[in-house]
Structure formats: structure tokens, C-alpha cells
Amino acid sequence: MSFKKIALAMLMVACLVAPAFAQRDTVSLNTIITKTGKFAYSYPIEKVYLHLDKPYYSAGDTIWFKAYVTMDKHMPTLLSKIVYVDIATNQDSMVKVLKLPVDKGMAHGNIILTPELFKQGNYHIRAYTAYMRNFETDYFFNKNIAIGNAIQNAVNANIIYNVSNATDKQKISAAITYKQPGEPALANKRVNWTITTPTGDEISKGKSSTDPNGLINIVLNENTTASLKNATLTTSIELGNRKESLNRFALNSAISQRDVQFFPEGGELTLGIRSKVAFKAVSHNGLGINIKGTVTDNTGAVVANLESQHLGMGIFALMPEDGKTYKANVTFSDGLKVTYDMPRIKPAGVAMALYNNDTDNVTIKITANDPYFKANQGKAYYVIVQNGGNIYFAAQTILQTPVYTASIPKSKFPTGVMQLTLFSERGIALSERIFFVKHNDMLNLMLTPDRKTYGVRQKVKLSVLAKNNGLPVAGDFSVSVIDETKVPSDENTETTIFSNLLLSSEIKGYIEQPNYYFASKDENTDANLDILMLTQGYRRISYRNILTGKFPQIYLFPEQSGLSVEGMLRNNTGMPIAKGNIRMQVGNKSQLFETVTDMTGNFKFTDLNYPDSAQIVLNARNNVNSKNLMISVATDTYQLPSKNPYMLDEVTDIDSTIKPLLANSKKQYDNLHILKEVVIKSTSLVKKPSHSDYPSLTALPMLADQAIPGERFKDCPNLYTCLPGMLMGVVADNTALYFSKNISNPNRKQIQIFINGRPMDYNYLNTVRGMDVENIELFKTDGLSNINKNYDSEGIISIITKKIEGTKISLAQLQEMLPKGNLLTYNAQGYSVAREFYSPKYDLLKQGGAFGGDLRSTIYWSPKVKTDKVTGTTFIEFFNSDSKGTYRATIEGMDADGNLGRYIIRYTVK
């Protein structure tokens, strides 16, 4: 936010005061405005949105995406030149991390879903900048993606949790169905199961056999329900010939209780003031559930009726009376009846109500009850409306009558979430309310096909038109065309540029079906959106922290110079070398750079461009006494895995939910006629490396508590990022690893790390690439080794890296090859190389292959569709596949002024 905008916000105090508010320029109001504006200027908000080519995928697919990186009312960012995209399993184990260059707020890339790496399940994809890591991960781009796998001959398990209240103790059970792709249900198979805590401790275990439908039932809470929190259910099904298949299920959703929460408008109920009360009812799976019921007072009289109107949400009015208490008597859709106490009632207070049903204005009503009015008559009050620290309305009034009403033109606000706050003259927030302003000001985007219907393999030409307020605009867009026969979807549940940048990225907490509020033609959509505003929390701006000067700590600054390499040059006594010469070579392309250290020995190379895992060579030999110099370099830090805020979007029955895509994926794989080659080289067994190969670790227990083969880390950029998510019951905190059961213990001890038998600290793992790992073992106890005593640790991690075979060399050759302090070589994570989407070109007069072989589900993808400023037009061309049915084309993007656009068309292929 510029200083010009801050001045404009100040001007609003004088210009935008509604009629019912008296103008009175006070220091208190100016202080709130000035400090809020300063906060917005000092801490600009960046957002990232990913446009994906499909809503879900199958193994063997490629995720194609475009990143839109924005700031300040969706303008293309001027802060960050690098965006990060990563994908993790639903067990928070990192699978892939991409680093992409940002050009004018845009970036694009892809993730190849190799069948061996991406097993069937739900995955968490995130996108963020380094600067965004200073704030909560909830404000990253977060999305749950279901990935099916019909290629690997693995067992797919679908779990459904059931809760019964038939006895005094609530019974929680799991019904699990086992299938194999393309095969009938796995009937009469033996299943072993265990329930373990996050630290790996066993709660319970048992055995069962599948019925003719491949189903088993397990009672989960034979012990206590509380013990299931963060627990994992692991099942092993025996398939014959000593072959087993493991499936793991997180049990948090199993113990979730159905619940109803109540949200008085403005935050609290006030005695004698009629207020709106929103509510949200959720079922055991955390999703909205329909309810109906009544609100009664302590005499049993019904004072309000309630009934949910959308996804378990609804609203009613209540005026609390003196001496009375209130309860909500709720009946769930399955007939269960529960009674809830209503929120507490303030005996004296002021309430704020907002009415957003008028097309042109927002109406604010401020009501003080009698005790509060008598105690505060004549005092000043302030009203501020802001988004992201940008103030769009500021006014003040004197409490002269118990009720004030004012209208504010909606033209003062941009489209999106607005935060309305009522302050006392001391700057204390008395009441708060968020509301959504929806203008008809989005880009007018259109895709126009050159035909009404098409044939298979026929060329399609789509004309693109972009306008804003009737005038053509230059825009940057991405276009996806998918075969809806293979990828059916629900538009309401999709993540779009509207639902993300305007809604999800503004509000903390899970939003069910966010695109419903933009795509639905329901006449009640806007009313349901207002109820959503009443039930969700807004946490980006805390006035209390702003006014007291408690600003967030910034430890990562925006990466404005792209890729960089920085470090320090010292002599062998540790003293920094000023004006020292540093040379750098990047990769094998002979990219050579030179720089000079500053007065404190620091150096930095900026605006670099090199691919992932590029070799960097730093050389300080062109200095006096270079043999006595040492180079150190600052390694990259990576964002640790975080909980998926959209975990409730997980698909429990992937086989059935995305069945058309999985069937198509299997056909594509079978058409390749791939035979797995088996080469027998020897009948002797090859000993695998283990901790026992190193003298310092031989006294550890023979069997590790956890053992992970190195192949699971092959796509990991470094172990610092991936290791905590791969090890069960291990968390990272303050640059060390701990068992999660000890994380809250002030006397906790860290886990000691060994690499090839040598002790290392956790930060060193930044330099260890996943592809270099042979295996990793975790030990909870140290056996007879006394390692925990010697290192004041609790637990040991042994990491063994792959050995490089070589020929024997002389001592002189070895000394020459040993790294010198004035020469540093390491592998750095550069930009991920984005592939180009392959779109075949067909000549119907010269067919080069049999029809039926082109089974693409994504027909076309382009992240580089740009319209010109003069006409606002462009066009794209591609060829259909061999599949008949309905194809859906989606275009999303924005112009240089931050105006958003999205448009969908469908066409038929016969």
C-alpha cells in the first residue's frame, strides 16, 4: 500500500461519513487509521492461486497448473520473483517441492504423477512465496487432491466410520472394503489391524476376515475415545504367497462429534437488543448437516424457530430478556435430538447489525441497551471498514440516542470480504462483522467455438475475448479443456480464481463448496453467503495488535532478485575477508560470475537462472593467501509440511468417486502393452547397508522401530524438509527433531541424528538430497550404546547415503581431489523445468493410427493465453481425442489492473 493510499484513507474520514454520523476529527480515530495504514504499507499481503487442469487425477497423469501471485487488490505481485509449489500425502509426508520463476505475477509448471511414487489416496497441494511463510499457513493456497491408481496392482481400501449411541458408551466402528483395480471384491481374506498413537505406541490390535463383499468391521474404541485422537489405523490384508498389502487411515475424523455452533452478529448477545444469530451444524465427518428445531427460554416458551437452509447453516432472531436463559432444541436429519445452551448474554452493551440485501447500499444499525446508554451517553464511537489494512470507510458519532442507523454506498468497496468494526473512543473493538460485497465488475470473458459440434480428432478453434466495462483489455489467462465423460465434476466444489482470491484466501477456516457462492444460480445464494460471513472467522488484521504495536516478526523477506547464492568469505582464524574475490560456476554450461565481498566478508550473486539440482562451484583462489581462506554458503530453508485446512474435502471412496477416470487410465496403460522385465543376475542375497556397518552404532538394537528405504525420498529436495513427515511420531521444532509425545515437555531432549555413523545436527540435513539416501532407521531406545547419555538425547536416527563406486587412486590424487576451504561445491535447488503440454495434430485425410488410441482426459492446456489491448482477443487451436461426449473448456486469469475473470463453455464431440 502506498503513502498516497494512506492519505486517501485519511481523506475518507472527512468525505465518507454517513448522514447519521456526526463529523468530528479526533486524534483517536486518526490514530486507528494511521496505524492501520502503516501496517498495510509495512506488511503487504501476497496471495497465490493455482489454476489446475483437472479437479482430480489418476496415477500416470500430469498435474498442469498456472500460478497467479497477487498483492494489493489482486494486482500482479511486485514483491516476490519465486513461487513454491509442493505436494504431500494426507499423512503430511512431503512428496515433491517445486521452485518456479514469477514473471509479472505469473508462473506455470507441472507435477508428473509417477505410479510408483503416487499411491492411491488424498494429497495436499500448497503454493506460497517465501514472504508468505512469515504468516500462517492457512493463508497459503491449500487444496486437497484425490489421486487414484489403477496401474499398480495394489489393494484399494475404502473406509466408512459409524457411530452408535445405543449404549451408555458411544460405539465407534469402521467398515472397510478391500478391492483391487479391475478385480472383484477381495472376499475371505485375512486382515490384521493395529491402532497406534502418533509416537508409534500400540493402542489395540486384532484380526478379521473379509466377507463375500470384501468388507470387515472394526470397533475402534475398545479402549477410550480420547486415545483415538491423532491415532492411525493400519490394516494388512493377506493375498497369498506371503504377499501383503498395507493401508493406513487417520482416525481424527472417526472421533469427530456432530455439533451445532451459534454465532451472534457482532460477537455477543446483549440484553434487550434483538440480534441475528447464525448457526452451523456439522456431522461426524465435519461437513454441514441439515437440522431444525426451536429456541426456548427457561419457562419452556418457544421464542424462535430454526432450520438450516444451506450446508447446515441458517439464521434466526433473538431478543434476550432479563432473568431468562435460552436453549436450542435441535433435531438432526437422522432423528437424533440434542439440546444446546445459547451463548452468554451481556447485561450491558452495544450491538451492531448489518443489512446487506440492498443492491446499492450497506445499512449499519448500532443499538445500545438502557444500562449501557446511561453509562456512556455523549461518548465518541468509530466505525471502520477495511480489507487487508486498506481502509475504505471511516466515520465517527456521538452516542446521543440508543439507536443509530446509517447507509454506506457499496460503490465505496471493492468486490470481496470487508471487515466492519465498531470502536470505543479508547480504540477498543466493541463489535465486529464481516460481509461480502459482490459487484458485477469481473472481466467479461468469452470462449467461442468455431462449430456447434465436432467429430473425434477434429480441429477445434476457440476465440477468446476479454473486456472490462465494455472495453477490450490485455489479459493473461490459462485455458484447460477436459473430457467431461472421463472427468465429471461438481462446479460448486471446485476451487476457482473467484472462490480462492475473493473468499477462501481471506477467511480462516474450512469453507464447504466455496464456488457455490459464485457459480450457483440459486436466488438464495447471496443470502447464504451472508450467513457464511456470520459463521466464519476473520483473522488477517488484529486491531489490538496494531494499536499496541505488536507487529508480526519478519524473518523471510520477499525474494525480489530471483535465485541467489550468498555466503561469507573468512580466513582460517574465522575473520571475515573484506573486498575478497569470489568466482562462481553454475552447472556444466560454464555460467561464470564474479563478485567482491563487502566490508563484513559477505557476498551475494543475484538474478540467477539455473535448473533444479544444479551444481554450484564457488572459488576464492584469486586472492592473496587463498590457501588460508574458507567459503561458507547460506543454504535454502524449506517450509515444513502443515495440516491441510481442506482435509474435509478428502475423498474416502476414490474407486467409486473417480471411477470413469480410473477406467480410462487403465485403458491407457493397457494400450501401451508394457511388460515388466525381470533379469536374474545372481541367486546370492546382497546385504543391505544398515546401522550395524558403523562402529558407533553397532550397539543399537538389531531391529529399528521404523525403517524407510531411500527410494521413498527420491523426489525430496532435502531431508530437512521431508524427514519429519516421513517418520511417524516425529516433529521438528526450533531446528531440532523430537518425539511428538515430548513436544510440550519443557525438559524434552532432541533426537540425535547420525549420517553414515557420524553425528550431525538437524540443520545439516539441508545439504542432503533425497536421491542420495540409501535408507533411514529410527530407534526409540539406544540399546547398549549409551548414545542417549553421551549426547543428552532421546532417540536416534541413522541415515545412510548411497555409496559411489570408483577406482583406486594414489594418495597424491586423493589429496588433490579433497575439497579445499577456498573451493566449495554443492548442489542447489534451482527452478523446476516446466514441460510443454503435448497436443497431437491430426490430418483426417492421412490418419496415422487407429481410432480409439487417443484416450486423453485433458484435451488441451495452455498457461500462456494473452489478449491484446486493442481488440482484447486471441484464439487457441487443438485437436479432439478419440472419445465422444461433452468437452468442457475453462479459461481463468486477470488483467494488469487485477480484474479477475473466469468463463466455461461446453461443446459436443460426436
Burial (0-12, 13-18, 19+ Cβ within 10 Å), 687: exposed
Cα separation, 199 vs 81, in Å, equals 39
| 617 strand-pairing partners | 585, 825
Q: Residue 109: name the closest of 909, 832, 841, 689 by CA.
A: 832
What's the angle, vertex CA 486, arms to CA 107 and CA 886, rounded to 5? Answer: 90
The residue written with cell numbers 489416496 in the block is 121
Cα separation, 8 vs 12, in Å, equals 6
Q: Residue 718: name the closest of 765, 657, 780, 784 by CA.
A: 765
The per-residue pLDDT for range 5-37, each reduced to its tens digit, is: 333 333 343 333 444 444 444 547 888 899 998
Strands 453-454 and 900-909: parallel
Cα separation, 586 vs 194, in Å, equals 50
pLDDT at 852: 67
Q: Residue 497: name the closest of 473, 481, 515 by CA.
A: 515
| SS3 call for 761 | coil
Residues contacting 144, CB < 8 A, separation 6+:
90, 122, 123, 124, 125, 644, 646, 647, 649, 650
- 375 touches 368 (CB < 8 A): no
pLDDT at 377: 94
Three-state SS for 422-472 is: EEECCCCEEEEEEEEECCCCCCEEEEEECCCEECCCCEEEEEEEEEECCEE
pLDDT at 413: 95
Amino acid type, 795? G
- 493 touches 513 (CB < 8 A): yes
| 101 strand-pairing partners | 82
pLDDT of residue 495 exceeding 50: yes
> Can you tell me the mean pLDDT for 191-211?
84
Cα separation, 377 vs 21, in Å, equals 15
Strands 885-895 and 873-879: unpaired
What's the angle, vertex CA 419, arms to CA 415 and CA 424, rounded to 5? Answer: 150
- Mean pLDDT of all residues in the chain? 86
Q: Residue 646, Cα to own-chain centre: how many angstroms?
A: 7
The per-residue pLDDT for range 661-697, each reduced to its tens digit, is: 988 988 887 776 544 444 444 545 566 788 888 888 9
| SS3 call for 693 | helix
Q: Residue 38, Cα to own-chain centre: how many angstroms?
A: 29
- pLDDT band at 539, cuts 50/70/90? low
Q: What is the pTM of this model?
A: 0.84
Cα separation, 82 vs 606, in Å, equals 13
Cα separation, 664 vs 652, in Å, equals 20
- 70 touches 440 (CB < 8 A): no
| 464 strand-pairing partners | 447, 874
For residue 471, give the C-alpha cell.
472495453
| SS3 call for 340 | strand
pLDDT of residue 450 exceeding 50: yes
For residue 434, give the C-alpha cell.
464481516
221, 226, 228, 229 alpha-carbon torsion, rounded to 10°: 160
403, 407, 412, 416 alpha-carbon torsion, rounded to 10°: 80
| 337 strand-pairing partners | 331
- The 10 Å Cβ neighbour count of residue 348 is 16
Strands (E) located in 471-590: 471-472, 475-483, 563-571, 581-586
- 88 touches 123 (CB < 8 A): yes
End-to-end Cα distance, the chain: 53
Q: Residue 95: name the closest of 126, 72, 137, 70 by CA.
A: 126
Residues in the chain, total: 910
Amino acid type, 191? V
- 382 touches 32 (CB < 8 A): yes
Q: What is the DSSP letter of 97?
A: E
| SS3 call for 712 | helix
pLDDT at 909: 96
844, 848, 853, 854 alpha-carbon torsion, rounded to 10°: -50
> Can you tell me the mean pLDDT for 295-317?
96
- 424 touches 395 (CB < 8 A): no
Cα separation, 707 vs 688, in Å, equals 12
Q: Decide which of 815 and 393 is more confident.
A: 393
| 437 strand-pairing partners | 416
The residue written with cell numbers 472421533 in the block is 255
Q: Decide which of 802 and 250 is more confident.
A: 802
Distances (CA, A) of 856 to 491, 680, 696, 888: 21, 36, 54, 13
The per-residue pLDDT for range 98-136, each reduced to its tens digit, is: 999 999 999 999 999 988 788 888 999 999 999 999 998
For residue 136, give the C-alpha cell.
500462517
> Can you tell me the mean pLDDT for 255-262?
85
pLDDT at 118: 86
- The 10 Å Cβ neighbour count of residue 588 is 8
- The 10 Å Cβ neighbour count of residue 282 is 22
The per-residue pLDDT for range 699-737, each reduced to its tens digit, is: 898 888 888 888 888 777 788 878 887 787 788 876 789
pLDDT at 241: 64
Cα separation, 263 vs 276, in Å, equals 9
What backbone phi and psi angles, to 5 degrees, belong to 28?
-60, -45
What backbone phi and psi angles, to 5 degrees, belong to 659?
-55, -45
State what percent of residues in the chain have pLDDT above 90. Answer: 52
| SS3 call for 727 | coil
- 476 touches 67 (CB < 8 A): no
* Residue 64, CB-side half-sphere exposure with 13 Å CA sphere: 20
What backbone phi and psi angles, to 5 degrees, belong to 192?
-105, 140
> Can you tell me the mean pLDDT for 159-186?
76
- The 10 Å Cβ neighbour count of residue 115 is 18
- pLDDT band at 169, cuts 50/70/90? low
Q: Decide which of 470 and 242 is more confident.
A: 470
- pLDDT band at 643, cuts 50/70/90? confident
> Can you tell me the mean pLDDT for 454-481?
96
- 782 touches 739 (CB < 8 A): no
pLDDT at 295: 97
What backbone phi and psi angles, to 5 degrees, belong to 226?
-60, -30
- pLDDT band at 825, cuts 50/70/90? confident
Q: Decide which of 443 and 717 is more confident.
A: 443
pLDDT at 22: 40
Element (H, E) at 303: strand 302-307
Q: What is the DSSP letter of 646?
A: T
What's the angle, vertex CA 47, arms to CA 43 and CA 48, rounded to 5? Answer: 150
- The 10 Å Cβ neighbour count of residue 406 is 18
- The 10 Å Cβ neighbour count of residue 344 is 11
pLDDT at 20: 42
pLDDT of residue 223 exceeding 90: no
pLDDT at 686: 61
Cα separation, 659 vs 239, in Å, equals 24
What's the angle, vertex CA 331, arms to CA 330 and CA 333, rounded to 5? Answer: 135
- 345 touches 321 (CB < 8 A): no
pLDDT of residue 810 exceeding 80: no
For residue 637, give the C-alpha cell.
530453508
